[in-house]
Chain A
Amino acid sequence: MTLTAFLQYFANALQWGSFYALIAIGYSMVYGVLMLYNFAHGDIFMSGAYIGLFVCTGLLAISAGGLVSMPPWLILILTIIGSMIGTSLVGMFVERVAYRPLRNAPRASAAVTGLMVGLLLETTNLWVLGAERRHYPPLIKVMSYKIGGVSITNTKIMVIGVALLVMLIMHLIVHKTKIGLAMRACAYDFPVVPLMGVSIDFIAPATFVLGSSAAAIAGVLFSISYPVLEPYMGMLIGWKAFIAAILGGRGSIKGALLAGYLLGFIEIFVAAIFPSTLRDLIAYSIALLILTFRPLGFFGEPYSAHMRL
């Protein structure tokens, strides 16, 4: 493999890994704070993509209508914000309807509920919007730059940049704000938190809002990079991001980040070196090997495993 080829794969992997990292954050956060695997998270990502589609199409129509003219970059920012708000509402709805009643139930019940909610989201989308594939309207003119033989588009740079920014903001929220403090307290010693005057009924939706916002951003960025939307688009990528969250250590945000990028790198480079038919086989065998030697993932802590069950 030449150096240029390697750099090209590197750039591709950075972009692809960003999606896994952004979605894995949601899984890890919800698990860390609420001891709960939200299996509907992949479909929250899908909701983010579709809500973004509607906001974007609406804004483009308004802009073309002549009342208010908006430059494409403004539409993009508004789409992301709109999608974050909409998807947070979906996340809060899922928390309120599916998970809150089961807060003291066995973990298996909550996990199954998550799967059901995911299916509900997918089939509702299918029912309401039909089976047609949707095309995401082109917002930014794609410019491909060739730097030293490596082709990088402005969308790729945007995806990587936004993902890193989001992760930085998440880190700051979790470590520097009061809400973040409460979330970390939940991860440390769950039953005591309400005794300290912080209501779980407030922390739970807040956690979902953060996780869903990250998934929404991933959804919008994904739609821009791969502009064909379908109701089941969240399934495969959701499961892979879940694997990334486990690899990183459940409950650990920086682990989710690291493992998300690692998984992206493994997938891209395995397809580059071995025949592409063996990609998933080899990539997930590597993931399995990592778990065999580090069952709790990179940054997983055994302490929180003793808290419940």
Chain B
Amino acid sequence: MLKKLIVPFSVLTLLAVLVGGCKPAATPAAATPVPAAGIPYGGVIKIGNVAPMTGDIPKVGEDGDNGVKLALEEIGYELKVGDHTYKIEYLLEDNESKAESATAAATKLIKEDKVLALIGAYASKQAVPMGEVANRYKCPDISPWSTNPRTTKNRPYVFRACFIDPFQGRVGARYIKETWPDVKKVAVLYDVASDYPKGLAEEFKAGCEEVGLEVVAFETFTTKDRDFSSQLTKIINSGAQLLYTPQYYDEVPLIVKQAKELGWDKIIFGSDSWAGGDLASLCGDDCVGYRFTTHYAMVGAKGKTKKFIDAFKAKYGYEPSDVGALAYDAAQILLEAIKNTGGLTGDLEKDRDAIKDQLGAIKEWKGVTGTMNFTPEGDPIKCAVICEYNKEHKFELVDWACPAGVPKPE
């Protein structure tokens, strides 16, 4: 009789140890401030961050968390709004890189934790549904890294700190046309099951048609696929001179490796997802020489950007990716908007509305990822950076690509 119970008991004990050793999900990153009486919200402003801490792109979550924390630390987790000084409570939620978890986390932060505003999500796959939730509950949300236009479209409460894909796709196509004049045929390989690569691939295709490049191969795969040999063989046989692949840092090394093994020796061009995460450790020497459009460059930075990189490196021990830089900018923009309301009323709905209005009114904001002009649409007007993966496996600034009417910096 006892023998039969040994196995179930050992399994239960193992489970208890595992569960007991786990940390609770949403831990306030700083010590919970003591509320003060008489001031709205007891003198505590709550800001939530919904990031992919686990799942496909954990590095993105980590960088986002660190970027926001750096911005909050620099002001000592304190903000003077109107007549009162508030303490800031920072709540981090893991969206597990899944759409359902992102919406659940956002709903929890908005309704239960009653945050004043949200930062997140990061990947468009989570940012688009999360934006819907934030807009429905009238809570301002600023996504640092989502470039898919649907995140902010027709959503007055949702903003972003980065450029959008219709711009990114076209600017990529234009850059290719200008930089490599003998490239006339291009191929695209992308994940059809994910919002960001699918949207961007289609924008890039439209951009190519506008500048006169022929898209000879438009190949797809689904998320979690590992073998791209069929698609790449088709691409090689199509006569393409350039491969555009707007994929994340865990897929690009596989695509590049397999392309080279199948005999591809031409240009591979990417997008800002290449920079989010640790491409260098996974790609090594394979990616040297390839370029991509992105939000900021590590090597060659000046001024406020350089100060930020140094501060980030000093605090966290590694250089920030564009996710970190954008999260930092997003947090600072949000804090600026809260400050610009001129004072909080204590009525959550009214204050959220006021913040939303202020976000849409920010002009000429000098962030670490460039100068931004906001409109109530939610999308900042700013330039893109063309980076190259150099021999030291770092992203080096090679050029700026700006929207019409915006001058190139320096």
Residues of A within 8 A of B (CB): 2, 5, 8-9, 12, 15-16, 97, 101, 124, 126-127, 130-133, 135, 138, 142, 144, 146, 151, 153, 155-156, 222, 226-228, 230, 232-233, 236-237, 267-269, 271-272, 275-277, 279-280
Output the nearest chain A residue to B281 by Cβ-Cβ distance.
A135
Q: Mark B243-287, 1 if CB is under 8 A from A, else 0.
A: 000000011011001001111000000000000001001101000
Q: Are A138 and B254 touching (Cβ within 8 A)?
A: no
A-B contact pairs, 5 of them (CB 8 A): A12-B227, A144-B260, A227-B257, A269-B230, A276-B220
Interface flag for B13 (CB, 8 Å): no
Minimum distance in angstroms from B393 CB to a CB of chain A = 12
Instruction: Point out the residues of chain B lying under 8 angstroms from A8, CB to CB.
Output: 233, 262
Known: A226-B254, A228-B253. A132 touches B230 (CB 8 A): no
Q: From the candidates B10, B56, B58, B262, name the one contacting A151 in the complex (CB within 8 A).
A: B262
* Among all A-B residue pairs, the 6 with the closest Cβ atoms: A271-B230, A131-B58, A12-B229, A151-B263, A131-B54, A226-B226
Bitwise interface map of B from 34 to 68 toward A, beta carbon under 8 Å scored 1, else 0: 00000000000000000001111011000000000
In angstroms, how far is the closest chain B Cβ from the Cβ of A11?
A: 9
Interface centre among B55, B59, B230 (most CB of A within 10 A): B230
With A12-B230, A16-B229, A272-B234 as contacts: A135 and B262 at CB distance below 8 Å: no
Q: Given A5-B237, A277-B220, is A271 in contact with B18 using a C-beta cutoff of 8 Å?
A: no
Does B2 make an interface contact (CB < 8 A)?
A: no
CB of B348 closer than 8 Å to a CB of A: no
Instruction: Report if B195 contacts A (CB, 8 A).
Output: no
B353 within 8 A of A: no
Query: How far, in angstroms, from A141 to B254 measured CA to CA in the complex?
Result: 16
Name which residue of chain A comes closest to B189, CB basis.
A276
Q: Does B224 contact A (CB under 8 A)?
A: yes
| B339-360 vs A, Cβ < 8 Å mask (1 yes, 0 no) | 0000000000000000000000
| B233 in contact with A9 (CB, 8 Å) | yes
Closest to A237 in B: B226
Q: Which of B176-229 contact A (CB under 8 A)?
A: 192, 219-222, 224, 226-227, 229
* A-side contacts of B282, CB under 8 Å: 133, 135, 227-228
In angstroms, Cα B59 to Cα A135, docked, is 14
**Complex CA–CA separation, A206 to B281 (angstroms):** 39
CB distance from B202 to the nearest CB of A (A): 13
CB-based nearest B residue for A233: B226
Report whether over half of chain A's contact residues are helix, strand or loop; otherwise say mixed.
Answer: helix
Known contacts A226-B226, A279-B230; 11 further A-B pairs (Cβ under 8 A):
A16-B229, A132-B58, A132-B278, A144-B263, A146-B263, A226-B227, A228-B253, A230-B250, A233-B226, A268-B227, A276-B230
Task: Indicate if the CB atoms of B233 and A272 lie closer than 8 Å.
Answer: yes
Question: Which B332-385 residues sit within 8 Å CB-CB of chain A?
Answer: none
Give the CA-CA distance A9 to B233 in the complex, in Å: 8
Given known pairs A12-B233, A144-B260, the reply for A126 and B254 (CB within 8 Å) is no
On whether the beta carbons of B250 and A133 are closer than 8 Å, the reply is yes
B1 within 8 A of A: no
Q: Say whether B257 contacts A97, CB under 8 Å.
A: no
B residues in contact with A269, CB < 8 Å: 230
Q: Which residues of A contact B56 (CB under 8 A)?
A: 230
Q: Are B224 and A236 in contact (CB under 8 A)?
A: yes
Distance from B284 Cβ to chain A, minimum over Cβ atoms (Å): 7
The complex places the Cα of A229 from the Cα of B281 at a distance, in Å, of 13
B4 within 8 A of A: yes
Tell whether B390 is near chain A: CB-to-CB under 8 Å.
no
**Of the candidates A2, A130, A275, A276, which one forms a contact with B58 in the assembled complex, judged by CB atoms under 8 Å apart?**
A130
Contacts of B263 in A (CB 8 A): 144, 146, 151
A132 touches B257 (CB 8 A): no
